[in-house]
Amino acid sequence: MTDSAAPTSADQFIAKTIADHAVVLFMKGVPDQPRCGFSAVTVQILDHLGVEFVGVDVLQDDDLRNGIKTFSDWPTIPQLYVKGEFIGGSDIVREMFQSGELKSFMAEQGLLEA
């Protein structure tokens, strides 16, 4: 195995964060102060639903910002993970919210108050 194929510390951090938390949002900024409109919309949706989540600021580290795109094979940020599953970015989360699918999905995962 070559060095380029070995997991990076960013990959290890991403995998551990996803494994350790039920809902993780890799975003620009932090939930209290998003630094892009797409991240802000996603935070507002999760807050509206009452879903507890961990926000990870990808702007803190270039390896992390680029690593999450490689990890998910998804080119944009924010990225939402629920119980280890990549859900999507801002547009997908917004569409799922508007259709009611996101609320149903979170409820099925036991992440909403009954």
Q: Tens digits of per-residue pLDDT, 65-76?
A: 999 999 999 999
Cα separation, 53 vs 31, whole angstroms:
9
Q: Residue 103 — pLDDT band, cuts 50, 70, 90?
A: very high
CB 85 within 8 A of CB 57: no
Q: What pLDDT, on a 0 to 100 scale, did the predictor assign at position 50?
A: 96
Q: What pLDDT, on a 0 to 100 scale, did the predictor assign at position 3?
A: 45
Instruction: Give the pTM.
Output: 0.92
Q: Which residues contact 66 (CB under 8 A, 6 or more apart)?
A: 10
Q: Where are the domains of the chain?
A: 7-108
Cα separation, 50 vs 112, whole angstroms:
7
Task: Specify the CATH class of 7-108 in words.
Answer: alpha beta
Q: Which residues contact 42 (CB under 8 A, 6 or more apart)?
A: 25, 27, 78, 80, 89, 90, 93, 94
E-strand spans in 1-114? 23-27, 29-30, 33-34, 54-57, 79-82, 85-88
